[in-house]
Structure 1
């Protein structure tokens, strides 16, 4: 998995039949260098046919580097790098060639997970919810709960663990809550030359500017009924709203925007979750986590508290989904992406 934060490639082994998680295995991470990040950032927004060869070379090289460390893998789920996502327009574009990856590694590769869902009227995102359902089963959850991924974009999965299958009616509700780390990372890169606000250090020094936060919450996306999804740059207006603010106040306000987006999203859940399990890089930001904990009526804790790996959950999800695709099982449903009926996405490239 290489996410919208553009920090690098995560890889993880999962032992599964595509329904039940039997075990979690080794993990690995291959960071993108600053120079690689610059090339990838320049390619954001590009569609097939546009010249993104340099970015494509980086994506493929990074994935081959990290996946070559896994000698016991039987199949690879390859997400690719999302450059553009416009489900009601031009579709979705994840950079990367699964067939070339299969040839380089010598293993079958499942890839292009989102296109089939979009073609059948779905948002094409988020796709981790089916895996979140399996994780809820794995931790023995008995009450509805939510997984909150605080990546470049935030997304929420509400799970009813009593449901017999992830595609069953009422089993899942999933949607992108709004921006999370990506706009704040862009702010830090522009103003401080840093990749992120590590540990929320800059935001902790600032004050939230309520006027900017209120303008942010006027965005029509928050009133839209889920399922719904976002592209990484859909909320570029955030940078305009904090343009005149000092660095610390801008960071604090953008962090509050990410938290407020989650609060708005929880209003769509059919039943209030008993707890929220946070994953993604944002769970390491104590300022963001404190804002969420103060504002919400249920515990918000990192997924590590239930024995899961928040740094690798997305990578594990696409390993799990790859097995479902190989077995002809659905990977998304009306409750997760708004697709008309449960559908299995993904191309399979064999050696």
Structure 2
């Protein structure tokens, strides 16, 4: 039995840092299994944070240079982590950081040049997991459902609450997944205005009052009426959400409270519509799972239809890094790692681009 030893690297839309997870992944008796053995999250310094946040607005040349520089930085972080912990690594799986995602225009771009990453780290790198699916007519997202299906088959619903919310589940014998809509992106946008990185444990939101008019405006957004497969990102947040928030003169606590109610209404609507079986569980990961007001509100909206399951903190925080490590294993084996039933592409594919060090 071969054990793949992979370093998974993930930077999400919430920009709360670079997640690194050293994983052992193996297949025994036709069942995939894993162990997350070592982890860290590296915060971005102020300059890199701003560069990544504003990457969508950069000129073509500035964007190219950031792609290179960020790839070198990723490679340096990987090398430091591997050496610090004395790890054996077969290869590195890097999601990179999404700067552009407009699949309807066949555009998706993940910053972090794979060749530079390989050169700086000294290890084989598998990255750029979205582009092939987009060229096949897919959304290029969400990609985590391959892990939900093969690594976590005991959960009926897998919900991830990063900058945006996405969900995956089986229906009619196929895996379905899509971006529901908002999660932490608007919450962090609001707390930044009062010099907080985030609302720890949802303490501010819990104190707030519901703003019925804002809730109605959010629930009426066109994106929620679109059929799946669908995905969204920072562009939608800029165009549709920020103007609504900035038109309001309400207290931050009330805005946070209302956003969480909105998020949970949309998530519960999706789950309840699927008519879950009795005792169904929804596995919740991503930063939103650490916000107790978010979780309490979600369970309230779900009622008896489904039970919210919150796993250990390490799994919450590093699930996506684990799944990209797993996707790289499947790519290395030449096996499918993106489902067309999820993304809407013409066919399943084995996505990712391989780079070996050139020094």
Q: Could you tell me the TM-score, scaled by structure 1's length?
A: 0.88
Which residue, out of 16, 19, 24, partners 1:7? Answer: 16
Residue of structure 2 in register with 1:176 after alignment: 179
Residues 117-158 of structure 1: per-residue CA shift (max 9 Å, x gap): 000011000111111112224xxx2xx611111000110011
* 1:270 to 1:60, Cα distance in 2 relative to 1, 3 A: farther
Within 2, Cα distance between the matches of 1:222 and 1:280?
A: 21
Counterpart of 1:15 in 2: which secondary structure? Answer: strand
- In the TM superposition, what is the alpha-carbon distance from 1:333 to its structure 2 partner? 1.5
Counterpart of 1:68 in 2: which secondary structure? Answer: helix
1:220-299 to 2 correspondences below 5 Å: 220-236=222-238, 237-242=240-245, 243-267=248-272, 269=274, 271=276, 274-296=280-302, 297-299=305-307
- In the TM superposition, what is the alpha-carbon distance from 1:93 to its structure 2 partner? 0.8
1:68-107 to 2 correspondences below 5 Å: 68-70=80-82, 71-107=87-123
Residues 80-139 of structure 1: per-residue CA shift (max 9 Å, x gap): 1101100011410111111111122221110110000000011000111111112224xx
**Does residue 317 in structure 1 map to residue 320 in structure 2?**
no
* 1:42 to 1:26, Cα distance in 2 relative to 1, 3 A: same
Within 2, Cα distance between the matches of 1:55 and 1:196?
A: 27
Within 1, Cα distance between the matches of 2:34 and 2:291?
A: 31
**Contact 1:14 1:23 (C-alpha < 8 Å) held by counterparts:** yes
* 1:300 to 1:75, Cα distance in 2 relative to 1, 3 A: same
Within 1, Cα distance between the matches of 2:163 and 2:66?
A: 22
Within 1, Cα distance between the matches of 2:130 and 2:60?
A: 15
- In the TM superposition, what is the alpha-carbon distance from 1:50 to its structure 2 partner? 4.8
**Does residue 61 in structure 1 map to residue 51 in structure 2?**
no
How many pairs are equivalent?
A: 335
Higher helix share: 2
- In the TM superposition, what is the alpha-carbon distance from 1:202 to its structure 2 partner? 1.4
**Does residue 134 in structure 1 map to residue 147 in structure 2?**
no
* 1:234 to 1:267, Cα distance in 2 relative to 1, 3 A: farther
* 1:92 to 1:270, Cα distance in 2 relative to 1, 3 A: farther
Within 1, Cα distance between the matches of 2:115 and 2:66?
A: 18
Q: Which consecutive residues of structure 2, in runs of 5 or more, have no partner in the other structure?
A: 1-9
Counterpart of 2:181 in 1: which secondary structure? Answer: strand
Q: Which consecutive residues of structure 1, in runs of 5 or more, have no partner in the other structure?
A: 161-168
RMSD: 2.3
**Contact 1:4 1:82 (C-alpha < 8 Å) held by counterparts:** yes
Within 2, Cα distance between the matches of 1:264 and 1:233?
A: 24
Residue of structure 1 in register with 2:56 after alignment: 44
* 1:270 to 1:256, Cα distance in 2 relative to 1, 3 A: closer
- In the TM superposition, what is the alpha-carbon distance from 1:221 to its structure 2 partner? 1.5
